[in-house]
């Protein structure tokens, strides 16, 4: 029988109203704290230093942590208000179980554990080990990420574990591994300061990594030229020297043309190319036909601007290239990344002061979480799950036989497809809200309805968890000791500030108890987070992401340590590749051909407009956390359809009018916001909302063949005004001034 979601009314009936604008208890701003703890923000990959204030085991506020060297006390609107989740009345305080026709009801830990473990056993006995899958997330610390990788392989013995980074940084990870054999930003962000030219491609830095702008402004003060590649005139583009306002889905044409221009005009670092790289000739051959005129036609960017960009990049002595999801959320996400790397290698500007390249990591622990075994094809230390030497090493660390270590499993969206096919029958999720964040979410919903058993661990009841049979109340970042790795590659300490409230428990305790009940207690014998970290250090030793030389003590003493850090007396590596010894099999940096291809969805008469999706500054990811903080909700209460005045006029769409947006997947209604800061052929919708407000009703499940990332950034759509004006209570003027 199809499993129905527990609806909102039932939840309110059972657990009280969820009033977004309520002030959680204990937060009056004036409470004298009895504890001030230096830790980090739980949200994005910047992992800004912050001091949390606590009183009577409750977080009551925050203070800037001015000494922390990345953000020097600066915080963005989310960082400032993050503590309002802690005592929020929607916190899950007890394990809950589904009761058919009633909703959820509170239960004991014992019951919730018993039910979950007996269902795991039943499903695996009936359908095989791999029929039970796990989905995880990288808002979790390194310790939790490592433990979950081990739990899925050793306790569940399933190959089907994947994580929400699959929707995020995997295209960059795959590109970096191909080119450098290692997946990390090459330099810490202080090296931005004296870069002569900076390219920011597909990254809305002012809204998504606001504190990083500090380093960009410092570079600007020193005279750096800034080039922004984005279909929208994002806040950063408004002050850039060049804004390349390309058509979504055409990045590889731009980077290929720039490479060809560098070759044609001999703006190359021959010494670097000859001595330290491979694959140059076949790569430049693949773009030799790419003229400025052709590029203008494909990308829609004025060819003069493309030429100026190539000249600036070609002539600079120092430079930094940064990109984020704008170029990575594509069926050719890996190619886009490789196109950028080719430009960096052609000019040899890497491994030197003020010369850097990197993807800007998204989630709080997007960097560390993608190194220690969450991924369906990976083992700790960024080892390969199909490599027999790597398998043997990790099997030894875990005290199991190599043959018992599962092999490569399905990626996140493929797990949903396998549920549809009836191959996966059970699911355990932690720190992931796929119903909002995966593409084509009507299809995801149908998959959840098909599961025989579904359990999840979260501190709020996410939209996905309404389909669960059992929900375990887990912990926030500040409720457990641990470490995370920032976008710079800096491993930092996360401090336990308070205990989980009432009957909620630390995530690691929940995983440990499940492991014990699944019969592998001896493999999960940890007495503290530091214990887990010490095992992780050994598991990562010798891998590309080597943490062996990092200890909790060293992290405290040094404001964090940059990996790789192979020995206890090693200081860490803020800048990679100074020795030019790349981690590829031949020790060279690899050029890779990245020719232009079409996106999976192409425009036609029926769907003539490009739809792209992304973020706003005040909301975070699927919104489970930030949609509960009134002041953030007020900044941007619901998703708006950004549309250029020319396109709006063509379809007779008025400001604040409801518009029906249709793609091959579905139709949905959004309020129009007419802005001149977007291309005339493109509309944009932020994705942080669920249900009828979800942008992911419209997106498609097309994946990059290598990274398996979904193509969130390109859909073909049609628009139809509905003649209804629906004013949103939102101060757009203040929003636009970001």
Ligand X SMILES: Nc1nc2c(c(=O)[nH]1)N[C@H]1C(S)=C(S)[C@@H](COP(=O)(O)OP(=O)(O)OC[C@H]3O[C@@H](n4cnc5c(=O)[nH]c(N)nc54)[C@H](O)[C@@H]3O)O[C@H]1N2
Which of 97/227 has CB closer to ligand X? 227
* Total site size for Mo ion, rule CB under 5 A: 2
* Tokens standing for residue 424: 């996966």
Count the neighbouring beta carbons within 10 Å of the beta carbon of residue 16: 10
**Cα–Cα dist 315/196, whole Å:** 10
User: Which among 41-49, 239-247, 304-312, 379-387 is the span making contact with ligand SF4, rule CB under 6 A?
Assistant: 41-49
Could you say whether residue 398 binds ligand X (CB under 6 A)? no
Could you say whether residue 683 binds ligand X (CB under 6 A)? no
Per-residue CA distances from 721 to 105, 292, 652 (Å)? 43, 37, 7
Could you say whether residue 619 binds ligand X (CB under 6 A)? yes
- Contacts of residue 217, defined as CB under 8 A and 6 or more positions apart, other chains included, come to none
**DSSP letter string over 504-516?**
---HHHHHHHHHH
Find the shortest distance in angstroms from Cβ 192 to ligand SF4: 15
**Cα–Cα dist 41/44, whole Å:** 8
Could you say whether residue 458 binds ligand X (CB under 6 A)? yes
CA 44 to mean position of chain CA atoms: 8
* Tokens standing for residue 370: 């993608």
- Contacts of residue 201, defined as CB under 8 A and 6 or more positions apart, other chains included, come to 228, 229, 230, 251, 321, 322, 323, 324, 326, 327, 340
Find the shortest distance in angstroms from Cβ 83 to ligand SF4: 11
Could you say whether residue 211 binds ligand SF4 (CB under 6 A)? yes
Site string for Mo ion, 237-256 (x = CB under 5 A): --------------------
Strand partners, 494: 482
Residue nearest to Mo ion (CB): 362
Find the shortest distance in angstroms from Cβ 325 to Mo ion: 6
Could you say whether residue 622 binds ligand X (CB under 6 A)? yes
Please, what sign has the CA dihedral across residues 366, 526, 392, 582?
positive
Pick what 625 binds: Mo ion, ligand X, ligand SF4, none; C-beta below 5 to 8 Å, kind-dependent: ligand X
How many distinct helices (H) and strands (E) make up the chain? 25, 28
Of 58, 150, 615, 665, the one binding ligand X by CB under 6 A: 615
Q: Do residues 117 and 511 lie in contact, with contact meaning Cβ atoms separated by under 8 Å?
A: no
Could you say whether residue 360 binds ligand SF4 (CB under 6 A)? no
Could you say whether residue 639 binds Mo ion (CB under 5 A)? no
User: Which among 206-214, 598-606, 641-649, 690-698 is the span making contact with ligand SF4, rule CB under 6 A?
Assistant: 206-214
* Total site size for ligand SF4, rule CB under 6 A: 13
Of 79, 474, 500, 700, the one binding ligand X by CB under 6 A: 474
Could you say whether residue 61 binds ligand SF4 (CB under 6 A)? no
CA 648 to mean position of chain CA atoms: 32
Which of 260/696 has CB closer to Mo ion? 696
Of 11, 39, 47, 511, the one binding ligand SF4 by CB under 6 A: 47
**What is the signed CA dihedral for 493, 499, 504, 506, rounded to 10 degrees?**
30
Of 152, 170, 203, 338, the one binding ligand X by CB under 6 A: 203
Could you say whether residue 201 binds ligand X (CB under 6 A)? yes
Q: Do residues 423 and 434 lie in contact, with contact meaning Cβ atoms separated by under 8 Å?
A: no
Could you say whether residue 710 binds Mo ion (CB under 5 A)? no
Of 132, 151, 209, 453, the one binding ligand SF4 by CB under 6 A: 209
Could you say whether residue 43 binds ligand SF4 (CB under 6 A)? yes
Could you say whether residue 362 binds Mo ion (CB under 5 A)? yes
Which of 49/248 has CB closer to ligand X? 248
Could you say whether residue 131 binds ligand X (CB under 6 A)? no
Closest CA to 185 of 405, 633, 486: 486
Please tell me what DSSP assigns to residue 227.
E
Closest CA to 472 of 499, 504, 516, 448: 504
* E strand intervals along 498-631: 561-562, 589-590, 609-614
User: Which among 165-173, 329-337, 520-528, 690-698 is the span making contact with Mo ion, rule CB under 5 A?
Assistant: 165-173
Q: Do residues 563 and 572 lie in contact, with contact meaning Cβ atoms separated by under 8 Å?
A: yes
Find the shortest distance in angstroms from Cβ 512 to ligand SF4: 28
Rounded to 5°, the CA angle 619-623-628 comes to 90
**Cα–Cα dist 658/638, whole Å:** 12
DSSP element (H, E) containing 427:
strand 426-430
**Cα–Cα dist 363/615, whole Å:** 13
SS (H, E, C) 65-119: CCCCCCCCCCCCHHHHHHHHHCCCCCCCCCCEEEECCCEEEECCHHHHHHHHHHH
Of 94, 186, 347, 624, the one binding ligand X by CB under 6 A: 624
Find the shortest distance in angstroms from Cβ 163 to Mo ion: 11
- Contacts of residue 31, defined as CB under 8 A and 6 or more positions apart, other chains included, come to 53, 55, 60, 61
Which of 168/338 has CB closer to Mo ion? 168
Site string for ligand X, 359-378 (x = CB under 6 A): ---xx---------------
Could you say whether residue 300 binds ligand X (CB under 6 A)? no
- Contacts of residue 164, defined as CB under 8 A and 6 or more positions apart, other chains included, come to 135, 136, 137, 138, 363, 412, 431, 432, 434, 437
**Which SS3 state, helix, strand or coil, does residue 158 take?**
coil
DSSP element (H, E) containing 617:
none
Could you say whether residue 428 binds ligand X (CB under 6 A)? no
Is the bond into 564 cis (omega within 30 degrees of 0)? yes
Could you say whether residue 41 binds ligand SF4 (CB under 6 A)? yes
Find the shortest distance in angstroms from Cβ 617 to ligand X: 5
Which of 363/441 has CB closer to ligand SF4? 363
Which of 74/693 has CB closer to ligand SF4? 74
Q: Do residues 559 and 67 lie in contact, with contact meaning Cβ atoms separated by under 8 Å?
A: yes
Which of 385/471 has CB closer to ligand X? 471
Segment 236 to 265, residues that bind ligand SF4, using CB under 6 A? none
CA 726 to mean position of chain CA atoms: 32
User: Which among 161-169, 216-224, 277-285, 402-410 is the span making contact with ligand X, rule CB under 6 A?
Assistant: 161-169
User: Which among 37-45, 462-470, 702-710, 711-719 is the span making contact with ligand SF4, rule CB under 6 A?
Assistant: 37-45
Find the shortest distance in angstroms from Cβ 364 to ligand SF4: 7
Site string for ligand SF4, 64-93 (x = CB under 6 A): -----------xx-xx--------------
Which of 209/607 has CB closer to Mo ion? 209
Per-residue CA distances from 285 to 132, 288, 298, 310 (Å)? 46, 5, 19, 18
Find the shortest distance in angstroms from Cβ 468 to ligand SF4: 28
For binding to ligand X (CB under 6 A), which residues are involved? 44, 137, 139-140, 164, 167-168, 201-204, 207-209, 229-232, 234, 246, 248-249, 251, 324-327, 329, 362-363, 430-434, 437, 457-460, 462, 474, 476-477, 507, 612-615, 617, 619-622, 624-625, 684, 687, 695-696, 699, 712-713
For binding to ligand SF4 (CB under 6 A), which residues are involved? 41, 43-44, 46-48, 75-76, 78-79, 209-211
């Amino acid at each position: 029988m199809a499993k129905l979601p527990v609806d909102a009314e039932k939840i309110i009936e059972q657990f009280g109203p969820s009033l977004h604008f309520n002030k959680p208890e204990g937060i009056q701003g004036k409470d004298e704290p009895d504890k001030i703890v230096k830790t980090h923000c739980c949200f994005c990959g910047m992992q800004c230093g912050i001091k949390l204030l606590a009183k009577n085991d409750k977080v009551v506020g925050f203070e800037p942590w001015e000494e922390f060297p990345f953000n020097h006390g600066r915080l963005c609107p989310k960082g400032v208000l993050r503590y309002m989740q802690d005592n929020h009345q929607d916190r899950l305080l007890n394990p809950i179980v589904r009761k058919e026709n009633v909703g959820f009801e509170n239960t004991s830990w014992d019951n919730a554990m018993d039910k979950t473990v007996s269902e795991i056993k039943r499903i695996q006995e009936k359908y095989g080990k791999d029929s039970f899958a796990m989905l995880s997330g990288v808002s979790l610390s390194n310790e939790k990420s490592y433990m979950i990788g081990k739990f899925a392989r050793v306790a569940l013995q399933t190959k089907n574990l994947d994580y929400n980074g699959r929707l995020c940084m995997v295209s960059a990870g795959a590109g970096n591994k191909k080119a450098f054999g290692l997946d990390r930003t090459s330099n810490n962000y202080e090296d931005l300061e004296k870069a002569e030219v900076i390219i920011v491609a597909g990254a809305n830095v002012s809204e998504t990594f606001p504190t990083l702008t500090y380093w960009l402004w410092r570079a600007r003060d020193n005279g750096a030229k800034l080039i922004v590649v984005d279909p929208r005139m994002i806040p950063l583009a408004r002050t850039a020297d060049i804004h390349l306002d390309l058509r979504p889905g055409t990045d590889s044409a731009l980077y290929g043309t720039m490479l060809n221009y560098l070759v044609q005009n001999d703006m190359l670092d021959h010494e670097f190319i000859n001595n330290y790289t491979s694959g140059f000739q076949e790569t430049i051959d693949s773009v030799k036909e790419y003229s400025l005129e052709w590029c203008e036609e494909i990308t829609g960017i004025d060819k003069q601007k493309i030429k100026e960009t190539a000249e600036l990049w070609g002539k600079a002595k120092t430079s930094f290239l940064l990109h984020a999801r704008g170029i990575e959320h594509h069926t050719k996400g890996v190619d886009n990344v490789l196109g950028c790397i080719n430009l960096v290698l052609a000019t040899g500007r890497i491994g030197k002061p003020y010369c850097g390249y990197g993807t800007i990591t998204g989630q709080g622990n997007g960097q560390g979480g993608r190194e220690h075994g969450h991924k369906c094809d990976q083992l700790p230390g960024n080892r390969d799950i199909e490599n027999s030497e790597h398998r043997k090493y990790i099997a030894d660390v875990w005290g199991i036989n190599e043959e018992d270590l599962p092999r490569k499993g399905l990626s996140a969206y493929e797990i949903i497809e396998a549920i549809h096919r009836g191959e996966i029958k059970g699911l355990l999720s932690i720190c992931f809200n796929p119903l909002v964040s995966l593409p084509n979410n009507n299809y995801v919903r149908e998959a959840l309805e098909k599961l025989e058993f579904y359990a999840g661990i979260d501190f709020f009841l996410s939209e996905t968890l309404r389909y669960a049979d059992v929900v375990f109340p887990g912990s926030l970042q500040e409720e457990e000791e641990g470490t995370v790795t920032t976008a710079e590659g800096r491993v930092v300490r996360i401090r336990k500030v308070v205990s989980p409230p009432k009957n909620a428990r630390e995530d690691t305790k929940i995983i440990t108890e499940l492991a014990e009940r699944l019969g592998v207690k001896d493999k999960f014998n940890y007495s503290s987070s530091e214990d887990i970290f010490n095992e992780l250090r050994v598991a990562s030793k010798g891998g590309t992401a080597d943490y062996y030389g990092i200890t909790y003590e060293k992290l405290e003493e040094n404001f964090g340590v940059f990996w790789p850090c192979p020995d206890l007396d090693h200081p860490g590596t803020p800048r990679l590749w100074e020795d030019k010894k790349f981690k590829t099999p031949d020790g060279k940096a690899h050029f890779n051909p990245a020719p232009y291809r079409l996106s999976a969805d192409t425009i036609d008469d029926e769907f003539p407009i490009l739809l792209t999706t992304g973020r706003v500054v005040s909301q975070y990811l699927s919104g489970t956390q930030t949609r509960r903080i009134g002041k953030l909700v007020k900044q941007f209460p619901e998703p708006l359809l950004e549309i250029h005045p020319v396109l709006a006029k063509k379809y007779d769409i008025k400001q604040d009018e409801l518009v029906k947006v249709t793609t091959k997947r579905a139709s949905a209604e959004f309020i129009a916001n007419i802005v001149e800061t977007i291309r005339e052929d493109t509309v944009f919708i932020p994705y942080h909302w669920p249900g009828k407000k979800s942008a992911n009703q419209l997106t498609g499940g097309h994946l990059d063949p290598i990274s398996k990332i979904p193509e969130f950034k390109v859909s073909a759509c049609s628009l139809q005004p509905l003649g209804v004006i629906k004013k949103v209570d939102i101060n757009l003027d203040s929003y636009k001034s970001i």
